[in-house]
């Protein structure tokens, strides 16, 4: 047996060689499971890059001839965001999606070489077969937690690289991700593998953030309005959370490596932690700085559908499709209280200090006193199911639901405003300044002015190539 | 003999035949075209054609691919790949020619320009079925968070769950091909259920087309599927390696019929003999039988397929047929190329029919007189005599007592008195010849004091409406609804609605105490509803697989009782007929007898149909049905197999060897030893068969699997165990009976010769005389007079331990 086995191996190798020679069409040879600097990347750099990026020439301050020098980057800073090839300058340049296109002269890298680099960065750029890859260092600054409005002008998108929607489509899909900046007149709308940012007053499209990881299912602005979080992915396949700087549109972190879509996520007000969850039912706390998993918690008995940090950063609440709500101590991850009440799915959560609002498939909105662990107020908000709930910074509550309506309430459950019905189930609604923006199952996103008594004033162009708002 | 020779030669012959004559070795005698007429209703409609040849040995062949098709008017329709496609409005004829045989079918085309919009119910739901999405996701709680209705019984709910239950996840109407509904199924995303179809396949395209159209629900007036037919309806094929394509056609509420072969789901009960491809083509394998099913919409229809070795030589001797039963059994045996075993000898018949009709052994003198009787109709006469015996009544009282679970239970306040009354009541009914449908109706509709109307004890033994309805379904209909309590039945058509609908009949049973603490009064409480566990809605009473009757101002149980007893009840008569058949034949036509379901088809449907018809025609008199079964050749066969039937277990080609049930065995040991009947602290002379209460038992009965009657499927268990064998060998039952009977002593005292006593012992136990070999083997033991008694008692013991005694054969 043994003899037969050893004698077969060279033959197999030969066969494979013949087969690959026999192929006449261009193809990407199989990329190895593990791509390393020593084994794959350095030889590639030697052929294509080291003419200029060597220790002597060090063009643009970049030296690719050693592993530490490659990680150190160029005069402009790091050339790689390890773990995320799409966001890495090095990859963008060799791919030709960003200037300066590299190599500047001679043959560009072929598909196979590009695939190697892409995979190497995705694997966090390991040096050798024995190493695990470079530590991630995301440019996520810690933030001081404050309940006050931050001083200075609130961050708004400035000159994004992407101004137009990435995909021009003739149809829309259910609108499931929508967020309003707590301080700026800015609304983020989830689209097909992208996030669109609209001015909440002029409804102008200000910029587009690519989310190639899939469909964004949840959007959250950071407490100070500086950062935007998107969670999502490919259903049943993969899930990620992305963080961008609102002003520049720069992606500063990509977090999580989930096996299914992220359905709910939020960023802690101090910006050190992302909590995410989804169909796996497991809650995962990630460190934003190094992208590492801090802890995972198995508590929910069904899909995690909603997550919300309290603005003071003390607590974080999570809810599931079976009606369970649990509040956790944000820092320790210890369970603070469970809030029984909803018998069916909880679709949304929103936090004020000490006060949590939940939206239930049972049609109700419940306000919970988190310290007491008790229901403070409960009212029927939307027949057929309440799909989302959101606190405005001034403490009003915006909801929408299966009755196709969006509504604004005070904390006593007193109805302040009801919009005219949307064509289909209203899935998400936010209030940004005077504009109530709501989207429905058909993907239609409409703006209503509070002052206008709930009449639609505008339809946000979420799906066309034109960034021009249409009146 | 002829058969054995040809079988051993057949491999050789087969080789020669295959080399020399590649075509048919039997002449083709008949050509059938399926369907018998083609109707095309719109532009995308099509109708596949299947052409079947019947050879003179009765085997079939699919010759569709070798046929010539010609249309009388080619402007109306065309034929492409054996499929008729519409061209222009009107009608024409299609001629199908195969060698010398031909046939013509009418073809009509209507609305050839019409492109019907995609329908969720009629186009998408069949895909979910064909890809078997709604099998795993059809579990009550769904699968991996996504639920569909099992086998698609709830299209409205399925549409909601796919599109709107969890918006944004399952369908992506902006980029339809990125919908998880597709990516999970085509292997793009990991899927616990694996890849279900290829990207770009017809199933994929149908779903994509629907998503591109915006995943619409149907307008309410969409046509409904009313039934399906699988063509041909039965097949006898040669194997291995023969193919036969099936055609499935669905009928709709608008009167139209459409070819749905490409989206029907196919299943085979025996892949080894008849493998079925997803496209509906049977590929034959080893010799055997299969039930090949097609599932479409809420309907499952199966056809029996027999697979025979190629060029099998087979002689069908003239086997006598006593009645229709024999005809139908033989038809099946002929299809299978199986010869029935010979008729059993008179004494085997005598013992068998005594045990089956009366639960007793034939007395010794009866064995001898029957052997001596030369009347050719002595078997019929014996059957008639035994049917009139009180022991027949006792045996069926026992069977019904098992089914109705007669047992005392101190915890549930069920005392002996009502059980005794209930038992007597059942016996009275059977004695009086009350039709069995009336008996069932009396039980189901029973009201009043259980002392005055013991039938009402049916509702005293079990209070829980869940259990009552499950037990009633299993006992009276042979249906196991249990599964459908929490989820739709995974292997059958029963849904939670069927379950709750049946349960609803039993929700208004009122129970109150009587004057006697052991008494209960059952009444119609006129209140109480069955709630659906999903959504908590009230489910109205509904007959399983049938209508929702009007129960307003009525006793629901009386409504059910009337339905049960009606001659056209689809389940009751068949179930009882099968139950009676199984009693005599040792095996049901549907087996187990209380597990009637689509995926457990009858082994011989025409036979079961016939028995059910007879039971109705005989006014539900089980005595008369028993007579028809007992006089048949099928019943009177030997248990010995012949080469052609030795492997067959399900087609009644030979008699089944059955262990006596516990009570009968105990009674038989008693009669064989002449021991007085005094067991279970019951009155002396009462046989174990006659005991009313299952709680009254002893070690022997328990060991031999007497039903505890604690649930409805607790039949008497006759499978052998080690403790049974050990108990007979070393336990005290036989010992005690031999001692208390003191038969040998008595016969010796009467001055009988040991050889005569041997005969007596044989006749009493195995109902025959010892043969020469046995006689001579015993002879040496009687040379010493001192030893004779001990030797005879040993013989008695040995006989009672023999398989020949313990088994009914």
Q: Which residues of A202-232 are buried (b: 16+ CB within 10 A; e: fewer)?
A: ebebbbbbbbebbbbbbbbbbbbbbbbbbbb
- Asked whether residue B484 carries a pLDDT value surpassing 80, the answer given is no
> What distance, in Å, lies between the first and last C-alpha atoms of chain B?
25
Which candidate from A176, A302, A321 shows the least CB-CB separation from B167?
Answer: A176
**ipTM beyond cut 0.95:** no
Contacts of A173 in chain B (CB under 8 A): 168, 171-175
Q: Quote the strand ranges of A78-191, DSSP E.
A: 178-180, 186-191
pLDDT given for residue B717 in this prediction:
67
Of B388, B416, B444, at which residue does a domain stop? B388
Shared domain for B45 and B172, answered yes or no, is no
Interface of A with B in 19-58 (CB under 8 A): none
Q: Domain for residue B734, yes or no?
A: yes
Query: What average pLDDT does the segment B497-515 reach?
Result: 92
Does residue B462 sit within a domain?
A: yes
The CA distance from B56 to A444, in Å, is 69
Does some domain include residue B647? no
Give the whole-angstrom CA distance, residue A354 versus residue B144: 35
Cross-chain residue pair A235–B214, CB shorter than 8 Å: no
Asked whether the beta carbons of residue B167 and residue A237 sit closer than 8 angstroms, the reply is: no
Beta strands A415-418; A426-432: pairing state: unpaired
- Phi and psi dihedrals of A245, rounded to 5? -80, 125
Quote the CA–CA distance of A263 and B611 in Å, as a whole number.
Answer: 60
- Give the pair of three-digit tokens for residue A430: 């936010």
The secondary structure of residue A39, as a DSSP letter, is: I
Calculate mean pLDDT across residues B523-552: 86
Whether residues A173 and B184 touch (CB distance < 8 A) is answered with no
Tell me if chain A has a CB within 8 Å of the CB of B685: no
Sign of CA dihedral A94, A96, A99, A104: positive
Is some CB atom of chain B closer than 8 A to the CB atom of A303? yes
The closest CB to that of B167, out of A172, A261, A425, belongs to A425
Q: Which residue has the tokens 């990125």?
A: B178
- The first and second tokens of residue B783, run together, are 């040379």
A262 has a chain B CB within 8 A of its CB = no
Q: How many domains does chain B have?
A: 5
- Residue B24: what pLDDT? 53
CB A156, CB A245: distance < 8 Å = no
Are B233 and B92 in a shared domain? yes
- Chain A residues near residue B178 by CB distance under 8 angstroms: 192, 215, 234
Among chain A residues, CA nearest to B164: A441
Do residue B156 and residue B280 come from a single domain?
no
CB–CB of A169 and B175 under 8 A?
yes
> Is A352:A376 a contact under the CB 8 Å cutoff?
no
pLDDT of residue B9: 37
Angle (deg, nearest 10), helices B346-358 and B364-372: 130
What is the average pLDDT value for chain B, to the nearest integer?
90
| Residue after which a domain boundary falls, among B337, B355, B388 | B388
Q: How far apart are CA B57 and CA B39, in angstroms?
A: 33
Tell me, what's the pLDDT at B490? 54
- When pLDDT is cut at 50, 70 and 90, the band that residue B599 belongs to is confident
DSSP states of B7-32: HHHHHHHHHHHHHH--S-SS-EEEEE
Task: Mark out the alpha helices in B632-741 (DSSP H runs).
Answer: 662-673, 699-703, 722-730, 732-741
CB distance A236–B164 less than 8 Å?
no
pTM of the complete model: 0.73
Distance from CA of B149 to the nearest CA of A (A): 19
**In a shared domain, residues B796 and B699:** yes
Asked if the model's pLDDT at residue B224 lies above 80, the reply is yes
User: To which H or E segment does residue B793 belong?
Assistant: helix B785-801
Nearest chain B residue to A322 by CA: give it: B145
Q: Choose the mutation target among B136, B142, B167 for the interface with A, i.e. most A CBs under 10 Å.
A: B167
Q: What angle do CA A189, A193, A195 make, to 5 degrees?
A: 25
In this structure, are residues B788 and B780 in contact, taking their beta carbons and an 8 Å threshold? Answer: no
- Rounded Cα gap, residues B117 and B706, in angstroms: 62
Candidate from A171, A234, A427 with C-beta closest to B189:
A234
Q: How many CB atoms lie within 10 A of CB B592?
A: 14
- Please give the Cα distance from A100 to A94 (Å, whole number): 9
The distance of A142 to chain B (nearest Cα, Å) reads: 33
- Which pLDDT value is given to residue B19? 35
Task: Say whether both B791 and B699 belong to one domain.
Answer: yes
Q: Report the Cα A418 to chain-centroid distance in Å.
A: 31
B665 with B795, same domain?
Answer: yes
Q: Cβ distance A335 to A299 under 8 Å?
A: yes
DSSP letter (8 states) at residue B673: H
Q: What confidence score (pLDDT) does residue A463 get?
A: 63
Q: Which domains does chain A have, with CATH numbers?
A: 28-122 (no CATH), 178-459 (2.130.10.10)
Among A129, A108, A98, smallest CA distance to A35 is for A129
Going by DSSP bridges, is the β-strand pair B225-231/B247-252 parallel, antiparallel, or unpaired? Answer: antiparallel
**Among A441, A439, A461, A445, residue whose Cα is nearest residue A169:** A461
Q: Are residues B686 and B702 in the same domain?
A: yes
- The full DSSP string for B730-772 is HSHHHHHHHHHH-HHHHHHHTT--HHHHHHHHHHHHHSS---H
Which residue in the block uniquely carries the two structure tokens 């999580």? Answer: A256
> Are B207 and B284 within one domain?
no
**Which residue do the tokens 């005077």 mark?**
A434
pLDDT for residue B477 is more than 60: yes
A187 part of contact set with chain B, CB < 8 Å: no
pLDDT range class, residue B713, cuts 50, 70, 90: low
Q: Is residue B774 one of the residues assigned to a domain?
A: yes
Q: Does A282 touch chain B (CB under 8 A)?
A: no
- In the predicted model, is pLDDT for residue B349 greater than 50? yes
B676 in A contact zone (CB under 8 Å): no
Q: Where are the beta strands (DSSP E) in B525-597?
A: 530-531, 538-539
Domain assignment present for B463: yes
Burial code (b: 16+ CB inside 10 Å, e: under 16) for A338-377 equals: ebebbeebbbbbbbbebbbbbbbbbbbbbbbebeeeeebe
pLDDT given at position B25: 62
Nearest CA in chain A to B216: A442
| Shortest CA gap A280–chain B (Å) | 9
Q: Name the minimum distance, in Å, from the CA of A189 to any CA of chain B.
A: 14
pLDDT class for B99, splitting at 50, 70, 90?
very high
Distance (Å, rounded) from C-alpha B507 to C-alpha A352? 50
Percent of chain B scoring above 90 in pLDDT:
73
Whether the Cβ atoms of residue A308 and residue A229 lie closer than 8 Å to each other: no
Determine contact: A235 vs chain B, CB below 8 A. yes
Task: Name every chain B residue with its beta carbon within 8 A of the beta carbon of A234.
Answer: 178, 183, 189
- Given this model, what pLDDT does residue B680 score? 76
Instruction: Tell me how far apart the alpha carbons of residues A266 and A98 are, in angstroms, rounded to a whole number.
Output: 31
Partners of residue A387 in chain B, C-beta under 8 Å: 167
With CA atoms as reference, the chain B residue closest to A303 would be: B145
Domain identity same for B767 and B666: yes
Mean pLDDT of the region B45-63: 94
**Helix or strand or coil: residue A435?**
strand
| pLDDT tens digits for range B366-422 | 999 999 999 999 999 999 999 999 999 999 999 999 999 999 998 889 999 999 999
Among the residues of B184-252, which ranges form H helices?
202-212
**Reported confidence tier of residue B488, pLDDT bands at 50, 70, 90:** low
Give residue A20's pLDDT.
40
Sign of torsion over alpha carbons B493, B495, B497, B502: positive
* DSSP string across B65-106: GG-EEEESSTTTEEEETTEEEE-SSEEEEEEEEETTEEEEEE
- Chain B, residues 166-205, CB within 8 A of chain A, namely 167-176, 178, 180, 183-184, 188-191
Please answer whether residues B737 and B726 qualify as being in contact, where contact means their C-beta atoms are separated by less than 8 angstroms: no
B707 within domain boundaries: yes
Which residues 431-460 of A are in CB contact (within 8 Å) with B?
A: 441-443
- pLDDT band, residue B715 (cuts 50/70/90): low
Determine if the peptide bond prior to A418 is cis (ω within 30°). Answer: no
Q: Inter-chain contact A174–B167, Cβ cutoff 8 Å?
A: yes
In a domain, B6, yes or no: no
User: For a pLDDT cut of 70, what percent of chain B falls above it?
Assistant: 94
Same-domain check for residues B379 and B399? no
Q: Check A427 against B168: CB less than 8 A apart.
A: yes
- Which residue in B has a C-alpha nearest to residue A169's C-alpha? B174
Asked whether residue B534 carries a pLDDT value surpassing 90, the answer given is no
Contact B145 A303 (CB under 8 A): yes
Per-residue confidence band for B492, with pLDDT thresholds at 50, 70 and 90: low
Q: How far is CA A427 from CA A135, A154, A241, A416, B167, in A?
A: 39, 27, 21, 19, 8
For residue B13, what pLDDT is reported?
37
Cis peptide before B362 (omega within 30 of 0): no
A321 neighbourhood in chain B, CB within 8 Å = 145
Q: Are strands A435-440 and B77-80 parallel, antiparallel or unpaired?
A: unpaired
Nearest residue in chain A measured CA to CA from B167: A174
Give bridge partners of residue A243 from the DSSP assignment.
A229, A253
Q: pLDDT in tens for each of the 471 residues of chain A?
A: 344 344 444 444 444 443 444 334 445 567 888 899 988 998 888 888 888 898 888 888 999 988 888 988 888 888 988 888 888 889 989 988 888 888 887 788 888 889 999 999 988 888 888 877 777 788 888 888 888 888 889 999 998 988 888 877 888 899 999 999 999 999 999 999 999 999 999 999 999 999 999 999 999 999 999 999 999 999 999 999 999 999 999 999 999 989 999 999 999 999 999 999 999 999 999 999 989 999 999 999 999 999 999 999 999 999 999 999 999 999 999 999 999 989 899 999 999 988 999 999 999 999 999 999 999 999 999 999 999 999 998 899 999 999 999 999 999 999 999 999 999 999 999 999 999 999 999 999 999 999 888 888 899 887 653 333 333
**Predicted confidence band of residue B745 (pLDDT cuts 50, 70, 90):** very high
Q: What range does the domain containing B792 cover?
A: 659-808
Chain A interface includes B641 (CB < 8 A):
no
Q: Are B667 and B800 part of one and the same domain?
A: yes
Q: Which single residue is written with the structure tokens 């459409």?
A: B258
**B89 found inside a domain:** yes
Local confidence band at B729 (pLDDT 50, 70, 90 cut-offs): confident
- The residue whose two tokens read 């992407």 is A162
Of the three residues B164, B189, B212, the one that is the final residue of a domain is: B212
- In the predicted model, is pLDDT for residue B288 greater than 80? yes
8 Å CB contact of A174 and B173: yes
Torsion of CA B21, B23, B26, B32, to 10 degrees: 180
Average pLDDT over residues B446-468: 95
For B190, the closest of A192, A237, A302 (CB atoms) is: A237
Interchain contact A217–B (C-beta under 8 A): yes
Mutate to test the interface with B, among A171, A175, A259, A386 (most CBs of B within 10 A): A171
Q: Are residues B107 and B245 in the same domain?
A: yes
């Amino acid at each position: 047996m043994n003899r037969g086995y050893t004698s077969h191996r060279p033959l197999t190798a030969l066969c494979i060689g013949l087969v690959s020679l026999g192929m006449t069409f261009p193809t990407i040879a199989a990329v190895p499971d593990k791509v390393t600097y020593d084994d794959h990347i350095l030889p590639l750099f030697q052929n294509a890059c080291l003419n200029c990026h060597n220790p002597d020439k060090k063009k643009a301050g970049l030296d690719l001839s050693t592993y530490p020098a490659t990680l150190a980057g160029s005069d402009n800073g790091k050339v790689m965001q390890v773990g995320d090839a799409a966001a890495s300058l090095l990859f963008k340049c060799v791919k030709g999606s960003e200037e300066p296109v590299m190599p500047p002269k001679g043959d560009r890298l072929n598909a196979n070489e590009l695939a190697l680099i892409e995979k190497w960065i995705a694997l966090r750029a390991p040096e050798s077969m024995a190493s695990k890859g470079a530590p991630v260092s995301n440019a996520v600054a810690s933030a001081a937690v404050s309940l006050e409005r931050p001083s200075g002008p609130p961050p708004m998108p400035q000159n994004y690289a992407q101004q137009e929607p990435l995909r021009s489509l003739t149809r829309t899909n259910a609108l499931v991700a929508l967020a309003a900046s707590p301080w700026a007149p800015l609304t983020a709308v989830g689209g097909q593998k992208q996030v669109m940012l609209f001015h909440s007053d002029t409804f102008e499209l200000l910029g587009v953030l690519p989310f190639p990881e899939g469909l964004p299912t949840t959007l959250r602005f950071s407490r100070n309005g500086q950062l935007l979080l998107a969670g999502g992915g490919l259903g049943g396949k993969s899930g990620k959370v992305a963080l961008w700087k609102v002003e520049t549109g720069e992606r500063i972190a990509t977090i999580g490596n989930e096996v299914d879509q992220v359905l709910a996520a939020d960023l802690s007000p101090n910006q050190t932690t992302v909590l995410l969850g989804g169909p796996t039912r497991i809650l995962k706390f990630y460190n934003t700085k190094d992208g590492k998993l801090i802890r995972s918690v198995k508590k929910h008995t069904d899909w995690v559908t909603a997550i919300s940090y309290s603005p003071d950063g003390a607590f974080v609440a999570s809810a599931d499709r079976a009606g369970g709500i649990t509040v956790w101590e944000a820092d320790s991850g210890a369970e603070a209280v469970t809030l029984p009440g909803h018998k069916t799915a909880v679709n949304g959560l929103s936090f004020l200090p000490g006060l949590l609002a939940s939206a239930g498939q049972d049609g109700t909105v419940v306000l919970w006193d988190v310290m007491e662990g008790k229901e403070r107020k409960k009212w029927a908000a939307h027949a057929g199911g309440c799909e989302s709930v959101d606190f405005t910074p001034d403490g009003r509550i915006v909801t929408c639901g299966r009755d196709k309506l969006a509504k604004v309430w005070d904390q006593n459950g007193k109805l302040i405003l009801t919009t005219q019905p949307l064509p289909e189930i209203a899935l998400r609604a936010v209030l940004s300044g005077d504009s109530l923006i709501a989207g429905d199952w058909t993907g239609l996103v409409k703006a209503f002015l509070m002052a206008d008594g709930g009449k639609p004033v505008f339809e946000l162009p979420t799906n066309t190539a034109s960034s021009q708002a249409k009146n | 003999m002829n058969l054995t020779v040809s079988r051993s030669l057949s491999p050789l012959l087969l080789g020669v035949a295959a080399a020399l004559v590649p075509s048919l070795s039997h002449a083709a005698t008949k050509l059938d075209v399926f369907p018998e007429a083609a109707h095309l209703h719109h532009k995308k409609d099509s109708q596949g054609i299947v052409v079947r040849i019947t050879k003179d040995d009765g085997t079939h062949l699919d010759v569709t691919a070798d046929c010539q098709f010609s249309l009388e008017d080619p402007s109306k329709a065309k034929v492409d790949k054996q499929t008729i496609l519409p061209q222009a409005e009107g009608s024409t004829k299609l001629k199908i020619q195969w060698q010398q045989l031909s046939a013509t079918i009418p073809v009509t085309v209507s609305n050839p320009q019409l492109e019907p919009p995609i329908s969720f119910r009629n186009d998408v739901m069949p895909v979910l079925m064909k890809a078997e999405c709604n099998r795993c996701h059809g579990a009550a709680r769904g699968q991996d968070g996504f639920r569909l209705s099992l086998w698609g019984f709830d299209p409205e709910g399925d549409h909601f769950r796919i599109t709107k239950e969890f918006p944004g996840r399952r369908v992506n109407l902006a980029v339809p091909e990125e919908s998880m509904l597709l990516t999970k199924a085509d292997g793009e995303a990991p899927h616990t259920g694996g890849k279900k179809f290829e990207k770009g396949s017809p199933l994929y395209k149908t779903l994509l087309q629907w998503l591109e159209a915006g995943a619409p629900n149907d307008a309410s007036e969409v046509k409904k599927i009313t039934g399906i037919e699988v063509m041909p309806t039965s097949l006898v094929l040669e194997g291995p390696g023969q193919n036969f394509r099936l055609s499935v056609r669905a009928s709709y509420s608008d009167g139209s019929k459409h070819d749905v072969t490409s989206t029907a789901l196919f299943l085979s009960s025996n892949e080894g003999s008849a493998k079925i491809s997803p496209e509906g083509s049977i590929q034959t394998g080893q010799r055997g039988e299969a039930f090949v099913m097609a599932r479409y919409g809420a309907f499952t229809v199966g056809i029996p397929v027999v697979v025979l070795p190629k060029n099998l030589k087979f002689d069908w001797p003239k086997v006598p047929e006593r009645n229709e039963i024999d005809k139908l059994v033989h038809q099946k045996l002929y299809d299978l190329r199986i010869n029935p075993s010979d008729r059993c000898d008179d004494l085997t018949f005598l013992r068998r029919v005594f045990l089956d009709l009366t639960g007793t052994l034939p007395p010794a003198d009866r064995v001898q007189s029957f052997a001596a009787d030369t009347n050719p109709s002595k078997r019929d006469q014996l059957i008639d005599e035994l049917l009139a015996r009180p022991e027949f009544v006792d045996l069926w009282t026992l069977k019904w007592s098992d089914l109705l679970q007669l047992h005392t239970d101190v915890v549930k306040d069920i005392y002996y008195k009502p059980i005794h009354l209930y038992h007597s009541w059942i016996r009275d009914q059977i004695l009086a010849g009350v039709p069995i449908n009336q008996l069932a109706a009396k039980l189901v509709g029973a009201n009043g004091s259980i002392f005055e109307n013991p039938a009402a004890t049916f509702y005293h033994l079990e209070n829980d409406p869940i259990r009552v309805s499950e037990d009633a379904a299993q006992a009276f209909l042979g249906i196991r609804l249990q599964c459908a309590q929490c989820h739709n039945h995974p292997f059958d058509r029963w849904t939670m609605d069927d379950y709750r609908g049946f349960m609803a009949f039993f929700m208004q049973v009122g129970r109150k105490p009587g004057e006697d603490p052991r008494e209960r009064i059952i009444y119609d409480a006129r209140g109480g509803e069955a709630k659906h566990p999903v959504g908590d809605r009230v489910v109205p009473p509904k007959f399983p697989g049938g209508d929702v009757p009007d129960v307003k101002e009525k006793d629901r149980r009386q409504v059910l009782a009337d339905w049960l007893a009606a001659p056209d009840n689809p389940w009751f008569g068949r179930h009882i007929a099968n139950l009676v058949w199984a009693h005599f034949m040792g095996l049901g036509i549907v087996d187990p007898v209380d597990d009637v379901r689509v995926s457990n088809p009858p082994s011989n449907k025409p036979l079961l149909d016939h028995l059910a018809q007879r039971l109705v025609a005989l006014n539900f008199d089980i005595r008369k049905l028993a007579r028809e079964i007992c006089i048949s050749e099928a019943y009177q066969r030997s248990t010995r197999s012949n080469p052609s039937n030795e492997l067959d277990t399900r087609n009644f080609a030979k008699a089944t060897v059955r262990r006596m049930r516990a009570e009968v065995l105990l009674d038989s040991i008693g009669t064989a030893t002449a021991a007085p009947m005094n067991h279970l602290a019951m009155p002396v002379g009462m046989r174990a068969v006659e005991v009313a209460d299952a709680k009254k038992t002893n070690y022997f009965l328990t060991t031999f699997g007497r039903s505890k009657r604690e649930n409805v499927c607790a039949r008497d268990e006759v499978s052998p165990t080690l403790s049974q064998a050990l108990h007979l060998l070393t336990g005290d039952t036989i010992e005690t009976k031999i001692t208390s009977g003191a038969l040998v002593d008595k016969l010796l005292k009467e001055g009988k010769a040991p050889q005569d006593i041997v005969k007596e012992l044989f006749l009493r136990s195995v109902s025959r005389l010892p043969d020469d070999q046995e006689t001579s083997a015993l002879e040496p033991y009687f040379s010493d007079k001192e030893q004779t008694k001990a030797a005879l008692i040993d013989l008695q013991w040995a006989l009672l331990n023999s398989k020949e005694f313990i088994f009914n054969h």
